[in-house]
Structure 1
Amino acid sequence: MHTEHKNKSPAPLSGKALRIDTSAMYTGAVGAGGLPRAELDGLAGELARVHELVTRRRQGGLDAEYASLNLHEELPKSLTAIEAEAARLRAFADVVVIGIGGSNLGAMAVLQALAHGDRKPDTPRLHFLDNIDPDFLHDLLARLDSARTAVVAISKSGGTVETAVQYLVLRDWLRRTRGPSARDHQWIVTDPQQGWLRALARDEGLAALPVPPRVGGRYSVLTAVGLLPLAAAGVDIRGLLEGATASAARCDAPQAGTNPALEMAALYFLLHTRRNKRVSVLMPYIHSLRLFGDWYRQLWAESLGKRRADGTPAGTLPVPALGAVDQHSQLQMYLESPRDLMFAFIALDAWAHRIDVPLDDASRAAFPFLDGRALHDVLDAEFRATRQVITDYGHPNLTITLPQLDAHVLGQLIDLYQRATIYAGLLYGIDPLDQPAVESGKRLAIAHLRGEAKGP
């Protein structure tokens, strides 16, 4: 168990690598529900082929098919421009960030992960608008002072309906309350050449930053999509990219034994296709990673939730959970439901703050096991107990341990999951970058708004 001397702050660990323990994904730990190591070894040739394909499709920087895996190399060239616009945003007390899905989830997850509950000084409050909810938007505008509010509209295509309608409301609010100066309160992040938002930025002279055209929304947190609002909020965006660079270097081998993203992808693929593990639960024991689970859910589901060439479904159903909260809401189902689950836990070595459990004589008599313990000791014990019972019930699971929660480590985590997702897509034989079913839903929604749709 991780322990510290009382009242002693954790030592800084910036730059250290996260650790990945996959031992409980194999039969040696969980029995028949796991994977024999020989099956992973038997996939070595396919893994080498997939890695070579990724390497080839990364050629060409931001023009590459897999440009999303080159962001750690390419985005540092844009940081001066991003940081300049972020400095302008910091002149405001509040910044409303409008986007949906990948245009918001990544920034929301990183901001929550690195806030530690303390707002950084001299940075604006960020308000994220994603879902269309007239009551929520009404109440938000009632609390904001337009003189001290900026608006950032984010859409890769420049025409996402959910983003457009809320931006139109905010633009109208700024025009009515700020008059000609409303232009100075608006920022655009969108395609560099085309789309409604890009045309608007050109016509009205609005501040604008580009989204690389070959980077999909769910892979875009390390572009201006995520980096602009995060820099405005005081997040170390250079540290994020440096962490992604470290992860990319670590995942540069064609063997599962030396490439953690490739091993993760192979394990998920094999456990799904050969052991019928259809549900993948991500369960951090770090409260500030709650939204990271939502980001993972979109990344995994939209990238892998497709049909393979033979008509069988690819991908597992991603389920975000949170320890220790969901021990009291989902663990019963996990343990005694059909054995089609696998788990990824995320644990933390060093916390930013230590809070000891204060005990008087009566409370010490009631809870003697808490004597000398801090809150993180209790959470660590809950994590280890849950992982052990999950293992004892035969559910395959892996653990990612973060040395501490800073920008560098979070950049590693983001890159790891994005690479594992793309590797997994190639193992299934599907395109991990498109989203055909989502696009058909968007077209149908527009048909309903036009009054042209048939059906209920």
Structure 2
Amino acid sequence: MVIPLTLNQSHVSISKLEEVFGTQVKTIHQEMNKGTSEGADYLGWKNYPNEISLNELEDALKAAKKLRENADLVVVIGIGGSYLGAKAIQDALSPYFEKNSDDPEVLFAGQNLSGAYMKQLLSYMGSKEVAIIVISKSGTTTEPAIAFRIMLEYMEKRYGSSASERIVAITDKSEGALREMAVRSGFTSFIIPNDIGGRYSVLTPVGLLPLAVAGVDIEQLLAGAKKAIHDLSNADIDSNIAYQYAALRTLLLSEGYNVEILASFSPSFETFHEWWKQLFGESEGKGGNGIFPAAVAYPTDLHSLGQYIQDGQRMLFETFVHFAEEAEDCAIPSSKENLDGLNYLSDKTLNEINEVMMHGAMEAHRDGGVPLLRLEVAKQDAYHVGYLIYFFQLSCAMSAYLQGLNPFDQPGVEEYKNNIFRLLEKPGHVIAAL
């Protein structure tokens, strides 16, 4: 049987990790399971893939089928956890260029405030048949709320009274502006569970519906997550790689390595880096604490950040994500003239060279004093990506708890929001003299 995910590292023995963190990890594990850990009201993600009902899944698939049949283009409106997870998985599992003929194009809005982006998106819609998925717990988050206001006007002008049939809202069960709009206008709607925060929500309707519309097999995605729940249910570090990863990160932080770089060699995995950065950045970056999450896409970044990683300040460690099995490959042809001197590679493929490049980079960075971790994922498909998503979520929660932090709040984001409301003269916010 192929193991979905393994963790390789040589920084410290597992027995040492068990000695240093074993008791603490077991205590945190038990507290999470009992719902007594800090922020436990937001632990709903922990077993959600097992708890989603057949009816809920069928409703999501049914709604996705309707959107796929009636739209050439589906615009997903959201930001942060309401955007990054779905985009990350879509990019990781979609062809680079031509989409499958039966799949509508899925684009995103509300994740920025660029007037040019929105103007060009509206123009791009053109004569395409359009549908909207709007995702917001409250319906009042500035960026997606503005985007939805613009899109709703567009849809009502174009489709009139039938516009509501082309809009799906994913929002709070009973409260908030978007819930009120959904009830008034008759939008099909799905619920963001109250006990799951945004950055942990990708395996709920927040991610599942847009992904189903994009043609991703969400049943396999959930199956991978369910397998991870089963595999990572043990409280012992020596048999739980999620807890090993969390303990390793905490140990490295204590040794002065306060930057983690997530590295991969698959271009389709780059948006996944962004989801990972939000997950760990918002969960750990508070009160002057936490590991700073950064990312590189190799081999591109070997020609930019590679110099710093190799020879800059020694405050970083690197976690490689590698997919053992690639779906496609491309051979390197032989050249009669061999002006580029590459005929010595003509019996190899691009994936084979990519693999060699990964090992070469890892060896160089290790020799340069960078602690290395490697996550070996069996395959880049829905099942294994679902497994990896859950692995990172559980690792992140444990890692934050080991640092004495609440993984589920984000008090730091409120300050910039208050400043924006003040500067935009939102009612109730006083303008301070500069």
Query: Which category of TM-score, normalised to the shorter sequence, fits these structures?
Result: over 0.9
1:44 maps to a residue whose letter is G
1:37-92 CA-to-partner distances (Å, cap 9, x unmatched) read: 63552221111111111222299xxx954101112112244211111110111020
TM-score w.r.t. length of structure 2? 0.94
Aligned counterpart for 1:387 among listed residues 362, 384, 394? 362
2:101 maps to a residue whose letter is P
For the residue of structure 2 that corresponds to 1:80, the secondary structure is helix
TM-score w.r.t. length of structure 1? 0.89
1:381-421 CA-to-partner distances (Å, cap 9, x unmatched) read: 11110011111112111111222111000001100000000
For the residue of structure 2 that corresponds to 1:318, the secondary structure is strand
Question: Counterparts of 1:140-179 in structure 2 under 5 Å?
Answer: 140-145=121-126, 148-179=129-160
Contact in 2 for aligned 1:58/1:66 (Cα 8 Å): no
Q: C-alpha distance in 2, partners of 1:418/1:82?
A: 23
User: What's the offset of the Cα at 1:157?
Assistant: 2.5
Contact in 1 for aligned 2:45/2:200 (Cα 8 Å): yes
Q: C-alpha distance in 2, partners of 1:112/1:235?
A: 10
1:24 paired to 2:3? no
Contact in 2 for aligned 1:355/1:374 (Cα 8 Å): yes
User: What's the offset of the Cα at 1:447?
Assistant: 2.4
1:50 paired to 2:28? yes
1:273-300 CA-to-partner distances (Å, cap 9, x unmatched) read: 2x11010000011111000000000000
Q: C-alpha distance in 1, partners of 2:158/2:36?
A: 47
Q: C-alpha distance in 1, partners of 2:274/2:383?
A: 20
Q: C-alpha distance in 1, partners of 2:47/2:113?
A: 33
Name the structure 2 match of 1:328: 303
Aligned counterpart for 2:216 among listed residues 235, 240, 244? 235
1:139-197 CA-to-partner distances (Å, cap 9, x unmatched) read: 11111136600011111222211110010000111122222222222111111111100
For the residue of structure 2 that corresponds to 1:421, the secondary structure is helix
Q: Structure 1 residues 453 and 240 mapped into 2: Cα distance closer, same or farther (>3 Å)?
A: farther
Structure 1's unaligned 5+ residue stretches are 1-14, 27-34, 308-312
1:217-263 CA-to-partner distances (Å, cap 9, x unmatched) read: 11111011110010011100011111011111111111111011111
Name the structure 1 match of 2:280: 300
**Seq. identity, %:** 29
Give the length in aligned residue pairs: 425
1:359 maps to a residue whose letter is S
Name the structure 2 match of 1:38: 16
Name the structure 1 match of 2:259: 279
Contact in 2 for aligned 1:285/1:322 (Cα 8 Å): yes
Question: Counterparts of 1:26-425 in structure 2 under 5 Å?
Answer: 26=12, 38=16, 40-57=18-35, 65-77=42-54, 78-91=56-69, 92-117=71-96, 118-129=98-109, 130-145=111-126, 148-273=129-254, 275-307=255-287, 313-363=288-338, 366-425=341-400
Q: C-alpha distance in 2, partners of 1:455/1:361?
A: 73
User: What's the offset of the Cα at 1:348?
Assistant: 1.7
Q: C-alpha distance in 2, partners of 1:455/1:346?
A: 49
Q: Structure 1 residues 403 and 58 mapped into 2: Cα distance closer, same or farther (>3 Å)?
A: farther
For the residue of structure 2 that corresponds to 1:332, the secondary structure is helix
Q: C-alpha distance in 2, partners of 1:151/1:289?
A: 25
Contact in 2 for aligned 1:47/1:254 (Cα 8 Å): yes
RMSD in angstroms over aligned alpha carbons?
Answer: 1.9
1:333-389 CA-to-partner distances (Å, cap 9, x unmatched) read: 011111111111011222111210111222388123302101101111111100111
2:270 maps to a residue whose letter is R
Contact in 2 for aligned 1:72/1:241 (Cα 8 Å): yes
For the residue of structure 2 that corresponds to 1:119, the secondary structure is coil
1:447 paired to 2:433? no
Contact in 2 for aligned 1:158/1:194 (Cα 8 Å): no
